[in-house]
Structure 1
């Protein structure tokens, strides 16, 4: 994996009394898992503890997650007042999430809405996209459009209407356009740093306390392909 975040190199995109938004690196995990690696949530707590010289425990609420090899925007709540409001915002689909993905195989259409029925296999940590409803599946909807064609790859912008497990990765693979580096979903080779070329580029939401619209854009990772975008 690429260089992980730590409290000294954390890429903070926005911060106020109630929320903090960071640009996640590939390899960072948002919450603790069986690997035992230090999660981004703990790194941010350490950052806040040092920055504000806070004694004792620092409050931080996880609002949503990104897959480990994915980069981009992750939003956290700094107060117990903000967390349930942000959770409701995401549950009610009042947060607009936009992703950029780099694929080798150009989709048949330059813009389209993809609708699948996703079925998750927990043992494989993988989700399968079906064209028709199957038992225990959930409807998944995304909209994509072509942003740019590079020499050997194509850049897509994706707006999520639903937030299913591995949704973008699985749906793009289902139309024959797996994301660069995503071995799990059919790309032919992995990226050297363990990343995949999927980036949570923009997030737009209503501030949970100030009640004003917030728009955040995450800079792209330093990488020859992203640089070409």
Structure 2
């Protein structure tokens, strides 16, 4: 565990060495500083490293990828500029594996499918518009999903992300008629107030120095709607399947 984050929430460390810091981001904390001024992961972790390792002066910590503020789960940071550069190369060349679990309303039209859309973000409104064909200022978005199981009117879905666009999973799944539970921004409608049901459950990366392939896992908290499944079921759902 690390020092307390916003609201006294501890941040779990999954792995740390001289080059990497892999943690579990709690939902509700921004990945980096934003206009809200609320405590963010990058600032909190830099402050913690400074204290834990008794470092004088500024502490370097590189943001390799982002999770939307309402999303929790595994997140990797670089502790050196060389690691940051090499991990950024891994993201750019898509040798950075990202698997998410999501709980969606309804049932996806296919048990398993690749989705390709074009996303345009309205920065002022902080919302993404999805297009089926190329559009002005819209960026290509690619993901693969598979439906794991159903519970009532909800489906547990595993999502492999191939591009890292803002709100990508939320917007693309909503576009096929399956908004994420708790995600009123993308059409989930009224209901009990819960966190958005999206969790970064698995990261696979080449170590920036040793090149060893490393995999990190995080299971969503067993609260609604995740509590409809057991911890073992969630772990199995977040395990990559053979294609």
Query: Is TM > 0.5 for Structure 1 vs Structure 2?
Result: yes
Runs of 4+ in structure 1 over 2 Å off: 3-8, 189-193
Whether the 8 Å CA contact 2:97–2:205 is kept in 1: the answer is yes
Report the equivalent of 1:122.
123
Report the equivalent of 1:27.
28
The alignment's TM-score, normalised by the length of structure 2, stands at: 0.88
Are 2:130 and 1:141 aligned?
no
Are 2:55 and 1:59 aligned?
no
Give, in whole Å, the separation in 2 of the partners of 1:54 and 1:220: 33
Give, in whole Å, the separation in 2 of the partners of 1:112 and 1:157: 11
Are 2:63 and 1:47 aligned?
no
Aligned length: 226
Whether the 8 Å CA contact 1:182–1:189 is kept in 2: the answer is no
Report the equivalent of 2:197.
197
- Give the CA deviation at 1:53: 1.8
Gaps of 5+ in 2: 230-243
Give, in whole Å, the separation in 2 of the partners of 1:118 and 1:224: 29
> Is the alpha carbon distance of 1:191 and 1:93 closer, same or farther for their aligned partners in structure 2, counting shifts above 3 Å?
farther
Please say which of residues 197-206 and 114-123 is displaced more in the overlay: 114-123
Gaps of 5+ in 1: none
Whether the 8 Å CA contact 2:5–2:44 is kept in 1: the answer is no
Give, in whole Å, the separation in 1 of the partners of 2:200 and 2:11: 16
> Is the alpha carbon distance of 1:4 and 1:154 closer, same or farther for their aligned partners in structure 2, counting shifts above 3 Å?
farther
- Give the CA deviation at 1:209: 0.7
What RMSD over aligned residues (CA atoms) do the two structures have, in Å? 1.8
Please say which of residues 216-225 and 109-118 is displaced more in the overlay: 216-225
Give, in whole Å, the separation in 1 of the partners of 2:53 and 2:5: 23
Report the equivalent of 1:227.
227
CA deviations over 1:104-161 (Å, ceiling 9, x no partner): 2111111111111111211211111111111111111111001121233110000111
Report the equivalent of 2:217.
217
